[in-house]
Amino acid sequence: MTEEQEVFLKHIQKQGLKRTAQRDVILDVFLRTEGHVSGEDLYRLVRRQDPNVGQTTVYRTLRLLTDAGLAREVRFGDGRAHYEHQYKHQHHDHMICSECGKIIEFYSPELEAIQDAMAAKHRFELTSHLLRMIGVCANCRRQERERKLETAPVRGHRKQPAARAAARGSHR
């Protein structure tokens, strides 16, 4: 049994719940899934392994994983909750592309120090924090520049005299 499985088992026993094959499958799939996963995404992944697992069971187990400290719920502004590994994972923040939805995880000791200083300045005891930075990623900016170049008129391009005359004639 892995350390995460032990943590989960202790948590559900403390809640007066039993270990089930379905909860084990959900935990296993979640732990093997890197990155951010929504409840719907996890449900689809779990169903590939066990088609008998219901969506409600997946959502309830995600809540148990979160309460046990194995998962962390994050929101990226798309109206859905996403989950990521939390147990023994370093704290990080997120940059989210508003165009394509790409999520970039990062850690900045400078930002952490500023947050601590602001909390101290306002005599505020931090228990946790979430930072989401929303903008446009480099790939989307590059694609937008390329799109603008493709649709921009070519400078210095002049209509041929016959084309100008025809254009004048059609405006009269």
Strand partners, 75: 81
* 68 and 129 both lie in a single domain: no
Q: What is the Cα–Cα distance from 44 to 39, expressed in whole angstroms?
A: 9
pTM for the full predicted model = 0.67
Asked if residue 38 lies in contact with residue 81, where contact means CB atoms within 8 angstroms, the answer is yes
Going by C-alpha positions, the residue among 171, 157, 41, 61 that lies closest to residue 71 is 61
- In percent, the amount of the chain with pLDDT more than 70 equals 89
Task: Assign residue 98 the CATH number of its domain.
Answer: 3.30.1490.190
Is the pLDDT at 157 greater than 70? The verdict is: no
Question: CA–CA separation, 92 vs 106, rounded Å?
Answer: 5
| Same-domain pairing of 42 and 23 | yes
Domain count of the chain?
Answer: 2
| Residue 130 amino acid letter | L
Question: Pick the residue with more confidence: 167 or 128?
Answer: 128
Residues 79 and 131 in one domain: no
Q: Is residue 170 part of a domain?
A: no
The CATH number for 13's domain is 1.10.10.10
Q: Assess if residue 121 is contained within a domain.
A: yes
145 and 75 within one domain? no
Tell whether the model's pLDDT for residue 142 goes beyond 90: yes
Mean pLDDT lowest among 26-30, 68-72, 99-103, 148-152: 148-152
Q: Which of 23-27, 56-60, 86-90, 91-95 has the lowest mean pLDDT?
A: 86-90
Q: Residue 133 sits in which domain range?
A: 91-152
Q: What is the pLDDT of residue 141?
A: 95
Say which amino acid occupies 43.
Y
Residue at 56 is within a domain:
yes
3-state class of 86 per DSSP? Answer: coil
Residue 172 counted as domain residue: no
Using CA atoms, how far apart are residues 46 and 25, in angstroms rounded to an integer?
Answer: 7
96 and 121 in a common domain: yes
Q: Percentage of the chain with pLDDT > 90?
A: 60
